[in-house]
């Protein structure tokens, strides 16, 4: 079955041709230098043979996309990197795991089929009604693939997980990253400047544990993990891939162990926000007061009524709060919006 992938060198096509389950799995080599393993549909690992058993000189890198099936730009980007590896245009010097999160939702052209996959990590897949739908089953498997990848005998010098997304709305800062909650650990200045070199000049520091994929890797493996938003969601073929040249170049350098050439941390080069609260939906009649085309990072003054539900007003609590990811159409109990205030740089090292 892997012959089809070896021939086409198109992992996206191979994944979408086999969206449910890749029964045999399988392994093959690229030249003398790389072992390739396909663990499941949408799951492929590149293992450089140059990494000696027990070596701690290398990095373990997870690049995930399509945790939301209709967010196509990250899928095209990951597929391009995989193609370059398969075609030996680039040669991996670090271990790399690529994950296409939700193949059935990619085919469907939707965010998810039954349940938002990015609300099901950190064990949420098995809570309540348990493993009752495809996303719950997939979330558990994705956790297991990350566990297996990050649990090899060698202990890498760094674990990285970039979970690539696009946002539903346009944003005042086109590309931005969410830094998962990290109690007791400082934020990495080097990672923030890596993101900046990728053209991702805005970082949000999350204020609490979540059920997202990036938080899973951050919490369980102390990975440098981020959810990364790369612009507004568009269908396949409509993405302007020139907007990702810097990101692709930096990921290329990371994978091939080329010099990253990062600038020293400079807070004037980045926009840093602290999440001050997540507003969860309490009632079915939840609605925002602002229009659907209001952009992410739009700021509102203290006292402004952001939303209404159950006969109550939900108001801005700080002098100014910017909003990100407003979405009233989520199930009761889930996040409708994150509110942001300027972040301090005290905890960045």
Ligand X SMILES: O=C(O)CCC(=O)N[C@@H](CCC(=O)O)C(=O)O
Task: Kindly state the smallest distance separating residue 264's Cβ from Zn ion, in Å.
Answer: 31
Question: What part of residues 267-306 is at the interface with ligand X (CB under 6 A)?
Answer: none
Among 41, 70, 79, 212, contact with ligand X (rule: CB under 6 A)? 212
The answer to whether the CB of 210 falls within 8 A of the CB of 279 is no
Candidates 58, 68, 125, 136; binder of ligand X (CB under 6 A) is 68
By beta-carbon proximity to Zn ion, the closer residue of 159 and 165 is 165
Choose which of 41, 79, 122, 227 interacts with ligand X (CB under 6 A).
227
Q: Tokens at residue 38, please?
A: 């396909």
Our finding on whether 173 is near Zn ion (CB under 5 A) is no
Nearer to Zn ion (CB atom), residue 71 or residue 135: 71
Q: How large is the greatest C-alpha to C-alpha distance in the chain, in angstroms? A: 67
Binding residue for ligand X (CB under 6 A) from 118, 211, 239, 336?
118
Q: How far apart are CA 69 and CA 105, in angstroms?
A: 4
- What the block records as the tokens of 89 is 């245009």
18 binds ligand X (CB under 6 A): no
Burial annotation 45-79 (CB, 10 A radius, 16+ → b, else e): bbbbeebeeeeeebbbbbbbbbbbbbbbbbbebbb
Q: How many residues bind ligand X (CB under 6 A)?
A: 13
* In the complex, minimum distance from the CB of residue 139 to ligand X, in angstroms, rounded to a whole number: 12
Beta strands in 66-128 (DSSP E): 95-100
**Which of 36/270 has CB closer to ligand X?**
270
Task: Report CA torsion sign: 115, 118, 123, 124.
Answer: negative
**Who contacts 121 (Cβ-Cβ below 8 Å, separation ≥6)?**
139, 142, 143, 211, 212, 213, 215, 216
Q: State which of residues 38, 325, 336, 339 lies at the interface with ligand X (CB under 6 A).
A: 325
Active site includes 174? no
Annotated binding site: 68, 71, 165
- Interface with ligand X (CB under 6 A): 68, 118, 165, 167-169, 178, 210, 212, 214, 227, 325, 327
């Amino acid at each position: 079955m892997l012959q089809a992938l070896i021939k086409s060198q198109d992992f996206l096509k191979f994944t979408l041709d086999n969206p449910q389950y890749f029964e045999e799995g399988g392994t093959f080599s690229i030249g003398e230098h790389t072992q390739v393993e396909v663990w499941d549909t949408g799951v492929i690992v590149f293992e450089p043979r140059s990494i000696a058993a027990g070596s701690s000189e290398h990095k373990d890198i997870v690049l995930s996309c399509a945790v939301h099936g209709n967010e196509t730009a990250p899928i095209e980007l990951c597929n391009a990197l995989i193609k370059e590896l398969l075609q030996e245009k680039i040669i991996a010097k670090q271990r790399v795991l690529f994950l296409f999160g939700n193949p059935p939702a990619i085919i469907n052209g939707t965010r998810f089929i039954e349940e938002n996959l990015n609300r099901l990590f950190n064990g949420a897949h098995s809570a309540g009604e348990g493993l009752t739908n495809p996303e719950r089953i997939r979330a558990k498997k994705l956790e297991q693939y990350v566990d297996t990848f990050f649990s090899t005998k060698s202990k890498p010098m760094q674990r990285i997980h970039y979970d690539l997304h696009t946002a539903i709305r346009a944003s005042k800062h086109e590309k931005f990253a969410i830094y998962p909650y990290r109690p007791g650990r400082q934020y990495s200045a080097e990672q923030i400047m890596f993101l900046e070199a990728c053209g991702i000049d805005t970082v949000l520091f999350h204020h609490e544990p979540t059920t997202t994929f990036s938080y899973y890797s951050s919490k369980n493996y102390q990975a440098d993990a981020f959810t990364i938003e790369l612009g507004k969601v568009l269908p396949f073929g409509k993405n302007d891939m020139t907007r990702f040249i810097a990101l692709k170049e930096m990921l290329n350098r990371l994978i091939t162990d080329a010099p990253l050439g990062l600038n020293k941390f400079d807070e004037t080069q980045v926009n840093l926000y602290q999440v001050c609260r997540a507003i969860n939906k309490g009632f079915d009649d939840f609605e925002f007061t602002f229009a659907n085309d209001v952009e992410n990072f739009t700021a509102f003054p203290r006292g402004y009524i952001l939303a209404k539900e159950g006969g109550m007003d939900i108001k801005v609590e700080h002098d100014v709060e910017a909003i990100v990811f407003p979405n009233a159409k989520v199930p009761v109990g889930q996040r409708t919006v994150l509110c942001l205030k300027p972040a301090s740089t005290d905890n960045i090292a």
